[in-house]
Amino acid sequence: MPNKTVSKFTTGAAAAVLASAMVLGVGAPAAQAQNFGGVLGCQASGGKQEGGALIGALLGAAAGSNLAKKDRGTGTALGAVVGAAAGSAIGCKLQHDDQDRRYAQGRGYDYNQPATYSHGGYRLDRSLAPASYYGGGGYMVARTTVNLRAAPTTGSARVGQLRAGERFEALAQVRGSDWVLVGQNGVGVGYVHGAYVQPEGYRYANYRY
């Protein structure tokens, strides 16, 4: 006569493995794998999400097996899925942190320092050089595709790009020049020369071009 305890444990373990494989998309085609949003949908590269999902699945399976005493197989499977989702979220967050750290190091600044700083009453991204500002407020439109610069000079580093016709927040103009401080959610993220942008309506007639 088979041992019921062993049978339940074997069934539960098999369910956990199956659930983990489903969540991790093992053997799934690339197009199908994209449907597993939790584990395979992280926008940052790395293997921590998959590792976190696997560890979470195993821990969740063990917890589910202990809690669901009457039906350990189902409890194990459900615990594996829930645990995999939680581990996946943690792993994805770690991958994003790694990506941000690499980006910061590539730009030559300390990842542990604040992402923005204040200058002249404006909030600037730490990758930007400060300048003397005046005016500002409202929105402008890019005449053509143009690079955003880290300082109001064409020789400074490229920190972003505006596409032709793109509407953007004009925080201020650089005093004594035709450079505009481009903002995103109230934070300066780059400089663009006024020759490549235009005011959006008469409200911004104070800008000089």
pLDDT value, residue 132: 96
For 39, list phi and psi in degrees, rounded to 5. -90, -40
Chain-centroid distance, C-alpha 74: 35
**Residue 133 confidence (pLDDT) above 80:** yes
HSE, CB side, 13 Å, CA atoms: give it for residue 98: 14
pLDDT reported for residue 177: 95
Task: Tell me the per-residue pLDDT of 141-198, one tens digit each, with 9 for 90 and over.
Answer: 999 999 999 999 999 999 999 999 999 999 999 999 999 999 999 999 999 999 999 9
The dihedrals phi and psi of 26, each to the nearest 5 degrees, come to -60, 125
Confidence of residue 203 (pLDDT cuts 50, 70, 90): very low
pLDDT digits (tens, 9 = 90+) for 85-115: 887 778 787 776 666 666 555 555 544 556 8
| 186, 156 contact by CB (below 8 A) | no
Reference 180, options 94, 114, 122; nearest CA is 122
Instruction: Please give the pLDDT value at position 6.
Output: 43
Question: What pLDDT score was predicted for residue 16?
Answer: 47
Torsion, Cα 92 98 100 103, to 10 degrees, reads -140
Q: Per residue in 36-60, pLDDT tens? A: 344 556 766 777 777 777 887 788 7
Question: Going by C-beta distance under 8 Å and a sequence separation of 6 or more, which residues neighbour residue 168?
Answer: 139, 140, 141, 142, 162, 182, 183, 184, 197
The DSSP call for residue 160 is: E
d(C-alpha 135, C-alpha 149), whole Å: 20
Check: CB of residue 165 under 8 Å from CB of residue 171. no
Alpha helices (H) in 68-171, listed in sequence order: 72-106
13-19 long-range Cβ contacts below 8 angstroms, 24+ apart:
13/61, 13/76, 15/61, 15/73, 15/74, 15/76, 15/77, 15/80, 16/57, 16/58, 16/61, 16/76, 16/77, 16/79, 16/80, 18/77, 19/57, 19/61, 19/77, 19/78, 19/80, 19/81, 19/84
158 forms bridges with which residues in the sheet? 149
Phi, psi of 205 (to 5 degrees): -70, -15
Q: What is the pTM of this model?
A: 0.47
